Amino acid sequence: MKRKIVKINEDKCNGCGQCVNACAEGAIQMVNGKAKLISDNYCDGLGACLGECPQDAISIVEREASSFDEEAVKKHLSKSNIYHHQSGCPGMSPVSLDKKTSSISAINSDSELSQWPIQLHLVPASAPYWNGADLLISADCVPFAFANFHSDLLRERKLIIACPKLDDTEPYLEKLTAIIRENDIRSVTVARMEVPCCGGIAMMAERAVQESGKNIPFKTMIISIRGDIIDK
């Protein structure tokens, strides 16, 4: 089948290994000092590794490739123990966080949620609330890390939550593309965590906008694990 997949330019690769850390599926490994895509069916094609390459040696191309196989990835990770010994995703590392108290009084306690359901697997592609909507696509962890999620991000937006690193990504991409293509979506905002393996949700959303054939405003907001906005 023809699909999106990672391509690594070995001439540009300097062997830093940052893409290996960013690939939660363990699809990229260092071989003779160069990053290599070791198996097509380990790569989900979302490109969380792209932004981690300082040499711009990684791109997403469309070519004949075997389908992404989530079960094969699980076996691969279990066999090689990548998560534990190669830090498949830095976001898996345990961190103790200091409790913040200075901004508690400023938190708006009112819910800004204006539709249901919200999980990407469950939302209908056609629903009256999509028309004229500003869409917020949020990684599952963002509302827990960002205290003012409702007042600062969700207000006056319709919400979709997803975690492409834990779920099958192809149905996600197809559903999101359909929502954008079949409805009058005014804008798309992606809220993701700072950890590299969360970058997949932004890549998926950007691809959905592109494949919908529409030209609508798109932006990504990055939230730190300590609850701060570090990029917008």
Above 50 in pLDDT, residue 84? no
pLDDT category at 86 given cuts 50, 70, 90 is: very low
One domain, residues 65 and 153:
no
Give the pLDDT of residue 87. 43
SS3 for 62? strand
One domain, residues 75 and 135:
no
Instruction: Say which residue the tokens 């779920």 belong to.
Output: 167
Q: Is residue 165 part of a domain?
A: yes
Q: Is residue 96 part of a domain?
A: no
Q: Are 31 and 39 in contact (CB under 8 A)?
A: no
CA 215 distance to own-chain centroid: 21
Spatial CB neighbours of 170, under 8 Å, sequence gap ≥ 6: 67, 68
Above 80 in pLDDT, residue 105? no
Q: Report the number of distinct structural domains present in the chain.
A: 2
Give the pLDDT of residue 88. 47
Report the pLDDT averaged over residues 200-217: 92
One domain, residues 57 and 167:
no
Q: Is residue 103 part of a domain?
A: no
* Higher pLDDT, residue 46 or 97: 46
Rounded (10°) CA dihedral 158, 162, 168, 174: 20
Give the pLDDT of residue 19. 85
Above 80 in pLDDT, residue 126? yes
Report the pLDDT averaged over residues 119-142: 94
One domain, residues 43 and 117:
no
Q: Is residue 46 part of a domain?
A: yes
pLDDT category at 194 given cuts 50, 70, 90 is: confident
One domain, residues 196 and 136:
yes
How distant, in Å, are the alpha carbons of 114, 134, 179 from that of 185? 16, 6, 8
- CATH (domain of 206): 3.40.50
One domain, residues 11 and 78:
yes
Q: Is residue 98 part of a domain?
A: no
One domain, residues 54 and 138:
no
Q: Is residue 196 part of a domain?
A: yes
Residue 201 DSSP symbol: H
Give the pLDDT of residue 187. 97
One domain, residues 75 and 118:
no
The model's pTM: 0.65
- CATH (domain of 73): 3.30.70.20
- For 139, the domain range is 111-231
Report the pLDDT averaged over residues 182-203: 89
pLDDT category at 100 given cuts 50, 70, 90 is: low
Last residue of a domain, one of 90, 124, 140: 90
Give the pLDDT of residue 102. 45
One domain, residues 76 and 162:
no
One domain, residues 123 and 224:
yes
Per the prediction, the chain carries an average pLDDT of 84
One domain, residues 144 and 34:
no
One domain, residues 133 and 65:
no
